[in-house]
A and B are shown apart, each in its own frame.
Chain A
């Protein structure tokens, strides 16, 4: 079945805010990378996007991102706010499969009428998200969420694409994240708008929080906040909620980030086309220059057609 046909079958239910239709619309985007922009422009005409606030949650594997989200979102359940959650876990480079296990920590949220949760695999992307993420965010905006929360894969120092995709980034740290030298390193430590030290029930947390405070005090940018929480014991998370609410109220349209997002989407599109070319290209007899010219030729042929 073509995407047009599937789309027509979904759109009326999608506009009626049916989560099953949203789920299928996301699959349609994920499975039709080449046509995804066409689907989205049609969708935005049929169901105008809301100006959702996009919050990114990142941090190393096992620091407690998913558990934090479960407790964080619980705080919004009493309000009317509609919250969409995207959870990303890595795809295998060997089989292409994935074990998506973030949802386990937040199953209690599954039945909340105002919450939608979707697990995604990174499908080869290396920035901590998946390549369809920008398109999927557009779909979620059209569905009308007030907040969209995105959890990255367990992130390393350079997996910082969340910075571009989101309006507000929370970096979750655990007290055993290493000594002060790690805090001063570039990359993921720089991109956060707010630092959350999770697991403050552990005895090692006091020293780590002091180190983090020193680090933030030495920075010029004092807008960044530090929070100590224990997701397990549900301590300190309400303070973050209040802080984020304040940020959302004061948020302005970020022209620089919007520009970057557009460019990344175009970049991802081209990478995708080039990779499809590379897969079918035999490299046996050609040197690297011939290969380059060959790819360029095929690229012009493929894109020039439109």
Chain B
């Protein structure tokens, strides 16, 4: 906190900011985790758009395009991750948008290879440290920004 202040954080700095969207597709209503991730990313200096719960893949993709985010982070605890992720990835392809997608939630180990194959860049399961997530998000998003 003090290092940000001494670097000029109290001024109207307009650096190129990383913009990410934290989205909850599908029917599960538990968003404590998504909110904690969103706050951790905020505290790491990113601009985080939170969608709220129960969004459709179409809504998420359209919103991400309108917001021009550098990364979409999905939070899914319902078990429907394979179907929802496939849909979101294919919608992004349809719209010809290159936007990295990561996933967090209750995801069985055996499902991860398939998810990565379809284009999910990272999958975070329970127990992952916030630090690790923040660093990965930063590096993935920065790669798009340049």
Contact = CB atoms under 8 A, between A and B. Distances in A.
Given A95-B44, A96-B13, A272-B14, A104 B8 contact: no
B51 A107 contact: yes
A98 to B, nearest CB: 5
A119 B67 contact: yes
A125 B41 CA distance: 21
Contact of B12 (A26, A98, A101, A275): A275
A30 interface: yes
B13 A124 contact: yes
A23 B65 contact: yes
Given A20-B97, A111-B59, A131-B12, A26 B68 contact: yes
Interface string B48-85: 11111001001100110111100000000000000000
Given A24-B68, A97-B47, A278 B4 contact: no
Interface in B6-44: 7-17, 19, 38-39, 41-44
Contact of B52 (A91, A93, A107, A278): A107
A250 to B, nearest CB: 32
Chain B binding surface SS class: mixed
B104 to A, nearest CB: 17
A30 B13 CA distance: 11
Contacts of B51: 103-104, 107
B59 A110 contact: yes
B45 interface: yes
Given A101-B50, A104-B51, A94 B9 contact: yes
B4 A94 contact: yes
Contact of A131 (B1, B14, B146): B14
A116 interface: yes
Contacts of A117: 63, 66-67
Contacts of B13: 96, 123-124, 275, 279
Nearest to A33: B14
A110 B50 contact: no
A285 B68 CA distance: 44
A110 B57 CA distance: 12
Contact of B4 (A19, A95, A119, A123): A95
B56 to A, nearest CB: 9
Interface residues on B, range: 35 or more
Nearest to B146: A1
Given A23-B67, A97-B44, A125 B12 contact: yes
Nearest to B52: A104
Nearest to B2: A94
Interface in A232-288: 271-272, 275, 278-279
B49 A100 contact: yes
* Max count, chain B CB within 10 A of own CB: residue among A104, A111, A119: A119
B49 A96 contact: no
Contacts of A107: 51-52, 55, 59, 63
Contacts of A33: 14
A278 B11 CA distance: 9
Interface string A99-117: 1110110010011000011
B5 interface: yes
B9 A93 contact: yes
Interface string A112-142: 0000111101011100000110000000000
Given A117-B66, A271-B12, 12 more contacts: A30-B14, A92-B45, A96-B13, A97-B42, A97-B43, A98-B42, A103-B67, A104-B51, A111-B62, A118-B66, A118-B67, A124-B12
Q: Which 4 A-B pairs have the closest CB atoms?
A: A279-B8, A124-B12, A104-B52, A23-B68
25 contacts: A23-B65, A27-B19, A27-B68, A94-B4, A94-B9, A96-B4, A96-B13, A96-B17, A97-B41, A97-B42, A97-B45, A97-B47, A98-B42, A107-B51, A107-B52, A107-B63, A111-B58, A111-B59, A116-B66, A119-B67, A123-B17, A124-B10, A124-B13, A132-B14, A275-B13
